[in-house]
A and B are shown apart, each in its own frame.
Chain A
Amino acid sequence: MNAPGWLQRFLNERYNMEVANTFIDKQMHKRLPPHTGWLHIFGSLSLLLFISQTITGILLLIYYRPTPDEAHASIQYITGEAHFGWLYRQVHAWGASLMILGLTLHMIRTYFMGSYKKPRELTWMTGVMIFVVTITFGFTGYLLPWNQIAFWATTVGTESAAKVPYIGGWLQYCLRGGDAVTGETLSRFFVVHVIILPWVLTGLIAVHLFLMRATNLATMERVGEEKKTPEECGIPFFPVHVAKEGVVAVLLIAVLVTLSVLSPWEIGEPANPLSTPPHIKPEWYFLPSYQLLKYFQGPYGAFMGIIACSVPFALLFFWPMLDRGKERHPRKRPLAVGFGLIGLISALALGYLGHVSGLEKSYFGARYHFSEKGWPTRIADDAPPSDSGGH
C-alpha cells in the first residue's frame, strides 16, 4: 500500500509528508474493538452502496435527458441500446432500495447495542440525517424515468406536502415548481437528485466517518466504564477488517446483479397526466408514513397526520438526548428496547397494511379485500375476481 518511489520522492521534495503519512498510517491501521463482528457490516455495506450508486448514477447521467419529452425515451435507450445500460439502471434502482435497507439495519444494530450513547451522540445524529437524505434521494430519483407509476406516485407524494400546516401550499408549489407535476418538477427533482443531495450526503458521510473514527466503535460496556483493551487485541482496519469488508463487497455485487437480472424494474408506460393508473403506491420505504397519514382525517386530521409522521424522525434524531442511561447491553435497558421494538413492529405493520390496502389477498384459502385503511373484509368464494386483485 505504499506509493511508488518516484512519487514519494516527488511529494517529499514539496510537502511535509511526515504529517500526512503519519495520519494515513494511523487511520489505515487503526485498531477496532475486538468484538467487532458481522453485525457491524451494515454501515460499510451502506457506504459501498453509496459508492455504487455514485458510479452507476454518473453512468446513467451520460445518456439520461431530464425533460418530459425525452426522459422516458432516454431510459429506453439506456435499457435497450447502450451496452450494459440495462445492468447499470437495474443496479442503480436496486441499489437505492438496498441502501435504505442497509441504513435501516445499521440503525437497528446501533440502537439495540446502545452504540449511540455518550460520546457518540453526534455520530448518531449525523446518521439519522444521512438516513433522511437517502430517503429524499429515493423520492427524487423515483420520478426521473418519467413513467406512469413514477409520475403518479410523485403527484400523490407531493400532494401530502400540501397538508403541512401553514406552509403546506407554498411547500407543494415549490416542490412541484408549479401547481401540478410537470417538466418543471422533473427539472428540480433532477437537480436535487444529481447535484445537491450527492454533495450533502458526501459531506454528511465524511462527518459521520470522522466522528466514528474519532471515538472508535462502541463496545457493550456501561457508559464511562469502558475498559481499555490491550492495543494488540484490537482488529487492525487494514488489512484484517478490509478483508472482511471484501467478502461483503463481493457478495453485494453478486446480490445486486442477481436482483437486476431476476427481478428487473420495468420501464413502464410513459407518464400521462390525463390518465391515472389504479393503485398508486409509493416505494416500500414510504409505506408506513403513507398508511399512517390515512388514519388522520377531519379538520385537524391532516395536521395531526403530518405531526404523527414527523414525530418518529424527531424522536430518532434526539434519541441520544432523551435516553441518557448508562447501560448499553439490551438486556439491561428493557424500556428502550421495548420502545424500539414497538416502533419497529408498528412500522412493519403499517408498511404491510399500506402494501395490501385497496387490494385483494388470499390467506389460508380465503380471499379478503383490504380497505384503504387496511381493514380486511372476507370475500365470498364464488365472487368473480375483481380488477383490484393484483398490481
Chain B
Amino acid sequence: MIHAPHAGLRRRIAWAILVCATILAATRPGYAEEKASCKTCHTKQVTLLATSVHNSFNCQECHGGPSTYSLSPDEMARYTRPTAPGEVRPVFQHGDGFTGKAKRADIPNLCGNCHADVERMNPYGIPTDQLSAYWTSGHGKTLKKTGDDRVAVCIDCHGSHDIFKTNEVTSRTYPANVPETCGQCHGNAELMGDFDLPVAIVDEYRRSVHGKLLYEQGDLGAPTCATCHGSHAAAPPGFASVRTACGQCHQLESKFFATSIHASQEEHKGCVQCHGGGPDANYHLIERITKPASALIQKYKQLMAVDPNATGEEVAEAIHPDPKRIINNAIESCTECHEDLEDDESLPKLFELIDSIAAAEKKYVETASYLDEVGRGVLLIDHQRFKFEDARTHLIALAPLQHTLDLDKVSAKVKELDKICDEVDQELTDLETNLNRRYAALAPMWGFCIVFSIALYAKFKQLKKKYVKPLP
C-alpha cells in the first residue's frame, strides 16, 4: 500500500479536492478573480488521462507550465465561452515553462525521460530498455536517419493521454488489439507505398492460422505482430532467422527441420517457404499443412455421408486436400533452386512422404469412426478408446516429424500408428463378433419356445376337453 500507487484512492481524493474547490469558488460572493486549471479548457484530455495508467500525473510533467491560472471573469469568458462560427479564439498564453504539444520526432525521448530512467521505473518493476530498443527498430532507425516523423513513435501504439497497461482490454497493446494497432499504418496503402513496404500483410495475418486463432477462437496466446517482430525493437526477422522466430513456439518443428536437407541451404526461406501462403503472399499468410485430428474425422464423416463406397484415394483426397495445394503453391518458389522440377527426383520423394502421412491419417480416421460407431451402440469400448489415445499421440507427433523430410523416420512412426489402429480394429471386430453370437442364439431359443408353447397349447386343449363341458 505504501509504495504501490493506489490509483483509485488517489483519483477519489483528487476529485474530492476538485469538487470542494469548485464549491468554494462558486459560493464566495464578490470574488474578483476566477481560478482556472488545465481541465477548464482541455476537458477531454484531462478526463482521458484520469482513466489511464498515468492518472497520477500532472499535465505539467509532459507539457510544462503552471498548473493553475487566475483569470478575471472577463478573461475567463473570452477563453471559455462558445465561439461563433468562423470566430478565432485568441491564443491563451500558458505561462513560463510551457512546452506545449511535443513534436512527433521528440516523443521517444520525452517518454524516455522517465521510461529509460532505472530509478524512476524500478518501483513499478518496468524494464527501461524500450527507448534503446526503439532506436534499433525499423521505426527508430528511419526516424533517426531521415527525420521522417511519419514512422511509428510511442503514442501511435500506446496512445497519448489514454495509455493503458498491456493486460487491459482497452489497451492498444492488448494482444487482441495489436494487429489493429499495427494495421493503422501497415494497412494504409498510401503510407506504406511511400516506404516501399507491403500493405497486404495485415490482411494476410488475419486470414492466417494465427489470425484465426486470435480472432475466431479468442486465443490470447496466439502470436500477434509483436511476437515475431518484437515490439519496441520491431523489425522483420529475415529469412535466416525465421526458424528461430517460429521455433519459439514450434520447438519440435524447428528442431526437426534443422536436421533436414533444406536447413543448410542458404537460399531456403525456412518455415515461410512452404507455410508462407504461396508465392503471391508476403509471408504472413501462415497456414498449417496438416489438419488437426478432429477436423480429419469430420471431413471423413462428411465424405462417408455422401459416398459410403469412396475409394481409398478419394478418402485421402477428401480428408487431406491441402498438402498438394499448398505444395503446388510453393512449387514456384521451389523452382528457385530445383530448376528442372519435372526431372528432379526430390518431388516424387516429397509426395511419397506426404502420401504416407495421408495414408496414416486415413487409417486413423477410419478406426476413429469405427470406434465411434461401435461406441454409440451397446458395446462398452473404454479399453479400445484408451488404447487408441496412443494412435492419436502418434498422429499428432507426425506433424512435427515430417519436417525432417526423412522418409524412414516418418515411415517408422506411421508403422507404429498403423499397428495400434490394426489392433483396435481387430478388438472391435472381435467384440462385434461376440455380439453377433447373441443373434445366433436367437434361432435355438425360438425353436425351444415354439415347441414349448405348442406343448402347452396341446395341454390346454387336453385340459379343456377334460374339465370343460360344451355349452348346452
Residues of chain A at the chain B interface (Cβ within 8 Å): 34, 76-77, 79-81, 86, 90, 229-230, 232-236, 239-240, 243-244, 246-247, 250-251, 253-254, 257-258, 261-262, 264-269
Q: In the complex, how many angstroms separate the beta carbon of B439 from the nearest chain A beta carbon?
A: 6
User: Are A250's CB and B449's CB within 8 A?
Assistant: yes
- Rounded to whole angstroms, the CA-CA distance of A262 and B435 in the bound complex is 10
Whether the Cβ atoms of B470 and A233 lie closer than 8 Å is yes
Give the chain A neighbours of B438 by CB distance below 8 A: 261
In the bound assembly, the distance between CA atoms of A33 and B441 in angstroms comes to 40
Contacts of B467 in A (CB 8 A): 235-236, 239-240
Known interface pairs A253-B449, A258-B442, A261-B438; A81-B380 also in contact (CB < 8 Å): yes
A86 to B438, CA, bound (A): 11
Q: In the bound complex, do residue A262 and residue B464 qualify as a contact, i.e. CB atoms below 8 Å apart?
A: no
Are A240 and B446 in contact, with the CB atoms below 8 A?
no
**Is B445 a contact of A254 with CB atoms below 8 Å?**
yes
Interface residue ranges, B against A (CB under 8 Å): 376-380, 382, 438-439, 441-442, 445-446, 449-450, 452-453, 456-457, 459-460, 463-464, 467-472
Contact A240 B460, CB 8 Å, known A81-B380, A229-B471, A233-B469: yes
Please indicate which of the listed interface residues B379, B441, B467 has the most CB atoms of chain A within 10 Å of its own CB. B467
Neighbouring B residues of A230 by C-beta, 8 Å: 469, 471-472
Using CB atoms, name the residue of chain B closest to A75: B380
| B457 proximity list for chain A (CB < 8 A) | 243-244, 247
**Residues of the A chain whose Cβ atoms lie less than 8 Å from the Cβ of B463:** 239-240, 243
Q: Which residues of B contact A243 (CB under 8 A)?
A: 456-457, 459-460, 463
Chain A residues, CB < 8 A from B468: 34, 232-236, 240
Could you tell me if A266 and B456 are in contact, using CB atoms closer than 8 angstroms? no
Alpha-carbon separation in the docked complex, A381 to B75 (Å): 83
Q: Return chain B residues, CB-CB under 8 Å to A246.
A: 453, 456, 459-460
Closest 5 CB pairs of A and B: A80-B380, A243-B460, A254-B449, A246-B456, A264-B378
Q: How many angstroms from the CA of A221 to the CA of B269 in the assembled complex?
A: 100
Contact B469 A261 (CB under 8 A): no
Closest residue of chain B to A258 (Cβ to Cβ) is B442
Please give 7 more A-B residue pairs, beta carbons under 8 A apart, in addition to A246-B459, A254-B445, A267-B377: A233-B472, A244-B460, A247-B453, A247-B456, A250-B456, A258-B442, A262-B442
User: What are 8 of the A-B contact pairs (CB < 8 Å)?
Assistant: A77-B380, A229-B471, A232-B469, A240-B467, A246-B459, A246-B460, A254-B450, A266-B377
Q: Which residues of B contact A261 (CB under 8 A)?
A: 438-439, 441-442
**In the bound complex, what is the Cα–Cα distance between A254 and B451 (angstroms)?**
12
Which residues of the other chain, B, contact A262 by a CB distance below 8 angstroms? Answer: 439, 442
C-alpha gap A258/B139 in the complex (Å): 79
Q: Distance in Å from the Cβ of B380 to the closest Cβ of chain A?
A: 3
In the complex, the chain B residue whose C-beta lies closest to that of A231 is B469
Contacts of B460 in A (CB 8 A): 240, 243-244, 246-247
Least Cβ–Cβ distance between A284 and chain B, in angstroms: 20
CA distance A244 to B452 in the complex (A): 12
Q: A79-B378, A243-B456 are in contact. Are A254 and B446 (CB under 8 A)?
A: yes
Q: Which residues of A contact B378 (CB under 8 A)?
A: 79, 86, 90, 264-267
Closest to B383 in A: A80
Are B471 and A250 within 8 A (Cβ)?
Answer: no
In the docked arrangement, what's the CA distance between A240 and B459, Å?
8
Which single residue of chain B is at the shortest CB-CB distance from A246? B456
Contact A251 B453 (CB under 8 A): yes
User: In the complex where A247-B453, A254-B446 touch, is A268 in contact with B376 (Cβ < 8 A)?
Assistant: yes
Nearest A residue (CB) for B438: A261
Q: A239, A240, A244 — which one has the most chain B CB atoms within 10 A of its CB?
A: A240
**What residues on A are CB-neighbors of B439 within 8 Å?**
261-262
CA distance A209 to B446 in the complex (A): 31
Which residue of B379, B441, B456, B471 is within 8 Å of A233 (Cβ)? B471
Residues of A contacting B472 in the complex (Cβ-Cβ under 8 angstroms):
230, 233
Cα(A80)–Cα(B434), bound, Å:
12
With contacts A254-B449, A257-B442, A261-B438 taken as known, whether A240 is within 8 angstroms of B456 at the C-beta atoms is no
Q: Hey, which chain A residues are within 8 Å of B456, CB to CB?
A: 243-244, 246-247, 250
Given contacts A235-B464, A261-B438, contact A250 B453 (CB under 8 A): yes
B446 CB → nearest A CB, Å: 6
Measured in the bound complex, the distance between the Cα atoms of B464 and A1 in whole Å is 18
- Rounded to whole angstroms, the CA-CA distance of A230 and B467 in the bound complex is 13
A81 (CB) vs chain B CBs: closest residue? B380
Chain A contacts of B464 at CB under 8 A?
Answer: 235, 240
CA of A68 to CA of B457 in the docked complex: distance in angstroms?
48
Q: How far is the CA of A351 from the CA of B460 in the complex (A)?
A: 38
- The reply to whether A251 and B449 form a contact with Cβ atoms under 8 Å apart is yes
- Closest residue of chain B to A29 (Cβ to Cβ) is B467
Cα A247 to Cα B457 in complex, Å, equals: 6
What's the least CB distance linking B376 to chain A, in Å?
6
Q: How far is the CA of A185 from the CA of B312 in the complex (A)?
A: 49
Residues of B near A264 (CB, < 8 A) are 377-378
Report how far A243 CA is from B471 CA in the complex, Å. 21
Closest to B379 in A: A80
B128 CB to nearest chain A CB (Å): 48
Most buried by A among B380, B438, B457: B380
In the bound assembly, the distance between CA atoms of A236 and B439 in angstroms comes to 39
Question: Within 8 Å CB of B452, what residues of A?
Answer: 250
Q: How far is the CB of A246 from chain B (nearest CB, A)?
A: 4
Q: Which of A229, A247, A267 has the most CB of B within 10 A?
A: A247
Which of chain B's residues have a CB closer than 8 A to the CB of A251? 449, 453
Residue of B with least CB distance to A31: B468
Complex Cα spacing A254 to B445, Å: 7
With known contacts A257-B445, A261-B438, A79–B380 Cβ distance under 8 A: yes
Bound form: Cα–Cα A88–B422 in Å: 33
Nearest B residue to A239, CB-CB? B463
Identity of the chain A residue whose Cβ is nearest the Cβ of B464 in the assembled complex? A240
Cα distance A236–B465 in the bound complex, in angstroms: 12
Q: In the docked arrangement, what's the CA distance between A90 and B377, Å?
A: 12
Which residues of B lie under 8 Å from residue A90 when comparing CB positions? Answer: 378
> Who on chain A is nearest to B440 by CB?
A261
Nearest CB in chain A: distance from B442 CB, A:
6
A243 CA / B460 CA spacing, docked (Å): 5
- Residues on A with beta carbons closer than 8 Å to the beta carbon of B445: 254, 257-258
A33 vs B104: C-alpha distance when bound (angstroms): 110
